[in-house]
Amino acid sequence: MMSTPRIQDPENVIQVKNLSKSFGSVVAVNDMSFCVKKGEIFGFLGPNGAGKTTTLSILEGLRKLDRGRVRVLGMDIDKNAKTIKSQIGVQLQGTSLLPDLTVFEQVQLFSRLYGYQHNRPEIMSFLERVGLDTKAAALPDHLSGGQKQRLALALALVNQPKIVFLDEPTTGLDPQSRRVLWDLIRELCDQDKTVVITTHYMEEAEALCHRVGIIDHGRLVALDTPGNLITNLAGVSSITTSVNLPLDEFQQLPTVIQAQHDGYKLSIQTRDVAVTLRFILDLAQKHCLSLNDLHIQQPNLEDVFLNLTGNRIRN
C-alpha cells in the first residue's frame, strides 16, 4: 500500500527520503520517506507529540535534519533554504499575531518583509480572499478564533507561494469556522497551489485531504487516500437492527465476518455494506418483517489509526 516514492518525478513538489530528527533521546522523526504531489492537499494526521510539527519545520527550512534527503520544489533544502523559503508560505502552529497592528497593517508588514510593496487595493484583495476585508481596521484581540486563523492564512499567502504549510490551522475552532477554513484551503488548491496541513482531527483529514500520511511516534505508518486507507486498513462496517432476523442465513454471505444477537439487537460485521444491506432487505421481506431501525456504522480514519497503532488518536 505504501509505494516507494518516485524521487525524480517533477510532479512531486516535495520529496523526502529516510528523514530522521531527534531531540536528545527523543526520536521526533524516524526514517520517513514520502512525496507530495503538485496541487494536492496533503495531510499529516497523528496525535500530539507524533512528530508533525518537527517534520513540517524541516520541510520549511526552519529546522535542520539529522539524516535523510529533502527536496522542495526540486531544490535541496540544505543548499537552497533561502530560495525555497521565498516560494513557500508558512502558518506556524498557534501563530501569534502582533497585538498592536491592525489586520491591514499585519498583512502590509508581512508583504514588506518579503520585499513586496503592495498598495492598499492589493492588500484589501488579500483580505477579501479570506473574508476579512470588513475587519481591516480591527486589532487581533477583537477577532474571533476563526478570523485569527484566516488572518494567519492570509499572512502565509502574501508572497504568492507555490506550497502552503499549515500546522493545525483549525485546532480549537468551532465546526462552522473550521468549514470556512476548509473552503479557503480548497480554493488554494484550485489555484494550483499545493497544501501541506497537519491535524489531529480524523474528520478533517478525511474531509479535506487528497492523501493522508498517518504519523505515530515519529514514524509514517501509512500513506494513501482516505478512502484507500479506510478500505484497506479499517475495512469492517457494522449494521445493527432490533429486528430479529435468522442468524444462520448470514453464513452464506462470505463478506459477513460475524452476525450475532444479544437479545435486544442484531449486529452484523461486514466487509461489504452494499451486498449485506441488500441481503438484509430481502431477508426481511421473505420473513414479512419491517426494518424500522436500521443503523450502519462505517469505519473511519480513527479505526485505521487504532488498527495500525493499537491506540486512539485522542487518548
Residue 209: Cβ within 10 Å count: 23
Bridge-based pairing of strands 194-199 and 26-37 is unpaired
φ/ψ (deg, to 5) at 288: 55, 45
Strand partners, 85: none
Select from 74-82, 88-96, 130-138, 188-196 the region that touches Mg ion (CB under 5 A): 88-96
Q: Which one, 171 or 228, has the nearer CB to Mg ion?
A: 171
Number of H-type helices and E-type strands within the chain: 10, 14
How many positions of this chain bind ligand ADP (CB under 6 A)? 11
Q: Is 23 in the site for ligand ADP (CB under 6 A)?
A: yes
Q: Is 135 in the site for ligand ADP (CB under 6 A)?
A: no
Q: Is 53 in the site for Mg ion (CB under 5 A)?
A: yes
DSSP label at residue 135:
G
Q: Among 12, 13, 45, 54, indicate the residue that binds ligand ADP (CB under 6 A).
A: 54
Q: Which residue is nearest to Mg ion (CB)?
A: 53
| C-alpha–C-alpha distance, residues 32 and 15, integer Å | 11
Nearest-approach distance from CB 176 to Mg ion, in angstroms: 24
Q: Among 6, 7, 49, 187, indicate the residue that binds ligand ADP (CB under 6 A).
A: 49
Q: Is 52 in the site for ligand ADP (CB under 6 A)?
A: yes
Beta strands in 179-292 (DSSP E): 194-199, 211-216, 219-224, 237-241, 256-261, 266-270
| C-alpha–C-alpha distance, residues 67 and 75, integer Å | 17
DSSP label at residue 134:
G
Q: Which one, 49 or 74, has the nearer CB to Mg ion?
A: 49
Q: Among 28, 59, 166, 197, indicate the residue that binds ligand ADP (CB under 6 A).
A: 28
Nearest-approach distance from CB 54 to Mg ion, in angstroms: 8
Residue 160: C-alpha distances to residues 106, 180, 296, 299 (Å):
16, 21, 45, 38
Which residue is it, cell 484581540? 141
Q: Is 181 in the site for ligand ADP (CB under 6 A)?
A: no
> Which amino acid, 209?
C
Q: Is 26 in the site for ligand ADP (CB under 6 A)?
A: yes
User: What is the footprint of ligand ADP within residues 29-48 (CB under 6 A)?
Assistant: 46, 48
Q: Is 50 in the site for ligand ADP (CB under 6 A)?
A: yes
Binding site for ligand ADP (CB under 6 A): 23, 26, 28, 46, 48-54
Binding site for Mg ion (CB under 5 A): 52-53, 93
